[in-house]
Structure 1
């Protein structure tokens, strides 16, 4: 099973994935997940017994940050890039929604 397969079965924001499972799915380390948390890019929720729980959205963020770090980008910069990519995606979504609501101006009839 790949990380992409597993993402499809999780609710986007519901924290159901333990750190151990996230490490396994993403083929990364617990240290990397902690570093992403320390960079304040993700904040996993904690179970009643204090264990970290990750959501689908947080796993996607971590996957992208890992790709950037593996390409030589420092973790702080990778987290900033991921944040900017998220902001851009949201702005594009809002723009597309607003553009759908605007009808093109009609052209005047030829004389």
Structure 2
């Protein structure tokens, strides 16, 4: 593996680059919180060969949003459900925008 391969992996939002300790530190939370959002099935960390949890930047953004809601008084299970629904809504909006773009190009003959 070259240095460029390593850099490319770190630039990938889905690459599990962060240990649970580092992820908790970056989010300003506890490892227990990360385990709890995992148990609530908000995020599923990958496991290293040694069985340790590893998190991606995308997963950290999702966990950070859940933490915001919990900090505002939302129970963790409800916060996780809200984040899942927000993520699904964003994906639906992205698909809809792509559909509209494609339909617009078809209508204009591009």
Range class of TM-score, shorter chain? 0.7 to 0.9
Greater Rg over alpha carbons, structure: 1
Shift of 1:12: 1.2
Matched residue, 2:81: 80
Gapped regions of structure 1 (runs ≥ 5): 1-8, 107-111
RMSD of the alignment, in Å? Answer: 1.7
Shift of 1:43: 0.8
Matched residue, 2:54: 53
Q: Cα deviations across residues 16-47 of structure 1 (Å, max 9, x unaligned)?
A: 10011101111000110000011011110111
Matched residue, 1:109: none
Q: Secondary structure at the match of 2:54?
A: strand
Matched residue, 2:6: none
Runs of 4+ in 1 over 2 A off after TM superposition: 102-106
Q: Distance in 2 between matches of 1:77 and 1:10?
A: 31
Shift of 1:102: 2.2
Q: Cα deviations across residues 47-76 of structure 1 (Å, max 9, x unaligned)?
A: 111111001111011000000000000000
Gapped regions of structure 2 (runs ≥ 5): 1-9
Q: TM-score, normalised by structure 2?
A: 0.83
Aligned length: 98
